[in-house]
Structure 1
């Protein structure tokens, strides 16, 4: 039914009873279509398994690739492109994200490792990217997320890579240097920080404010203005700070809504981050390369010869090919003093001819080049 016909039909409904009956009818249609989509997803699993058996003689579900990052990004982009309202684009896309997640779980539930414990922003990023149909597995350190995916214990991992206020997450970059894993997606998460305490605590009882060091840095000015002289303690994560505050009225945690809900904390103050657009970007890591999807990014690590103009020589091929760089960051080399590795991100997929030509050029000019992956640009 066209939008105009829908509006005409809605305008003809003049009583609450008529409107409620119409909503019930629509709900029934939506429900039937959801079940139809779910059955199609189950059939996809059957066909993929049959194709694998025909090719290899095996029918092993663990060897079937059910999650296709480029396909999901295309579907979500189509959802946004065809949306005519009144629901906002992002709202509709999030609804479809959860539908896709639930249907994918019927094919094969995925296990996703993330930087824990429960209640971290990394967990929130994992849910935003994969939906709630996955099995989320908290890990104590970024290195453990990499290890879980490398070993096959988890299908994918989610790790923070940069914050709009505090810059790159160096532990993540360092783990990529020796890891065989590929970047297969990205997700950006708006970071809202709150000052959280347990029930019965107050401004008068708080003696220490705990959070991850990055969170403390992201609200440094607010804390200086509102809580001068109160001890600040950096801990392993904001969720750990929330756990500590759960039973101790002398501790206030700086953390987000998911931690507040998980540990039953109250807000002494809301949205205390210094910059209103405070955002953290996360990377999805997996074991397989991702095919081109039409709106892709590529990340790589490159080491230049230690000579004047080395970085300029590395960047010139991108300019000549008309490729837009989205990120450059520097890390000290762990094998040679005063030598550096460059973490570079740019628009395009490594399978594209112009990107391949640039990469071939860089191989000739560099000491080391490692493509970390080509992946769909974030849709949500």
Structure 2
């Protein structure tokens, strides 16, 4: 049996304290350098957007690759994301609009992308997120675009039909739904389950098996569902564990979604496209010319050049009866030679074609 040495433990803790002091000093040194960068930027282009996503990606990728351990690589990325977010706030805090309120999965996606020091601007609707960025009330917007279980978020696709905004990034976020209850409420006493329609759909089988007696009531967001459950003596909510913390609820069950590897894809809205990285995706909005073979004419220029079409979704334009717009996700950047050739050909094959954005393909959090 190893003898416990209080003095050795005390010495180790003093060493940790000394390292913490060094880390704090270096953080403040980095913050000072970031502030100097901000000063130089303001002299050259006072109205320019200070955020440099490409530079940020390069720094995060380099640090994660050079990490010798034992500190976890994923934690390196998370911590330095927060450090960069905090340093950027010294230059000019990023204003990020998202589908709110706070505690939703879109809020988590925005924090994952921009860090906790960004200025979070919750919006009541997806259309309001678009408007906040279009009117320069926010630098970026974050909205959901599709879920692995429930498919496309049609409201987001419809908002792109008339918006000048570009997609400048995407976020893949694991979505683990939890059942939240008031602390004193038992599962058998639940009569109503509140949540966003997408979340209710993601947990359909679990709710039918475990809460067949409960009515399902749609809410504008999972966070609002948690608030409603807190006010209802016989109510529960399907939401995130973060929402349980925000609203003082008990997490009765975790991971109740029907698909274990449930995930939602979010897109970041901005005024301009991202630069090529070598591993990109391009989203197109195409209006097909009416007539036989219209869809084939959209797909052929891509297939002939070996460009991978990862998603296609149609939506009515609401401008003309039976007129449809097609949203296409294609692997590659609009500036890549083959993609550029395909876009030129598509332009003549479509009634109209709009590049909604080229941006880095996201990697699922924890899958690096």
Q: Same fold by TM (over 0.5)?
A: yes
1:192 and 2:169 equivalent? no
1:44 and 2:37 equivalent? yes
Confirm or deny: 8 A CA contact 2:191 2:213 kept in the other structure: no
- Once the two structures are superposed, what CA deviation does each residue of 1:318-341 show, in whole Å capped at 9, x if it has no partner? 233332222221212323333321
Per the alignment, residue 22 of structure 2 pairs with 29
Aligned match for 2:198, one of 198, 206, 214: 214
- Mapped partners of 2:19, 2:186: distance in 1: 48
Confirm or deny: 8 A CA contact 2:103 2:242 kept in the other structure: yes
Worse-matched range after superposition: 179-188 or 84-93: 84-93
Per the alignment, residue 7 of structure 1 pairs with none
Per the alignment, residue 249 of structure 2 pairs with 265
- Mapped partners of 1:321, 1:301: distance in 2: 19
- Once the two structures are superposed, what CA deviation does each residue of 1:93-120 show, in whole Å capped at 9, x if it has no partner? 1111111111111110111111111211
- Mapped partners of 2:279, 2:88: distance in 1: 23
- Mapped partners of 2:76, 2:104: distance in 1: 25
- Mapped partners of 1:191, 1:18: distance in 2: 43
- Mapped partners of 1:282, 1:225: distance in 2: 30
Confirm or deny: 8 A CA contact 1:145 1:159 kept in the other structure: yes
Per the alignment, residue 340 of structure 1 pairs with 324
Confirm or deny: 8 A CA contact 2:161 2:317 kept in the other structure: no
Aligned length: 358
Q: 1:263-342 counterparts in 2 under 5 A?
A: 263-342=247-326
Confirm or deny: 8 A CA contact 1:195 1:269 kept in the other structure: yes
- Mapped partners of 1:191, 1:287: distance in 2: 28
Worse-matched range after superposition: 249-258 or 283-292: 283-292
> SS state of the match for residue 231, structure 2?
coil
- Mapped partners of 1:159, 1:312: distance in 2: 30
Structure 1: tracts of 5 or more residues without a match = 1-13, 53-59
Structure 2: tracts of 5 or more residues without a match = 1-6
By how many angstroms is 1:71 displaced? 2.2
By how many angstroms is 1:363 displaced? 0.2
1:133 and 2:78 equivalent? no
RMSD value, Cα: 1.8
By how many angstroms is 1:17 displaced? 4.2
Structure 1 outlier segments of 4+, above 4 Å:
none
TM-score normalised by the chain length of structure 1: 0.89
- Mapped partners of 2:285, 2:132: distance in 1: 22
By how many angstroms is 1:129 displaced? 0.6
1:248 and 2:241 equivalent? no
- Mapped partners of 2:105, 2:73: distance in 1: 23
- Mapped partners of 2:66, 2:305: distance in 1: 33
- Once the two structures are superposed, what CA deviation does each residue of 1:42-75 show, in whole Å capped at 9, x if it has no partner? 11111111112xxxxxxx4xx1221122222222
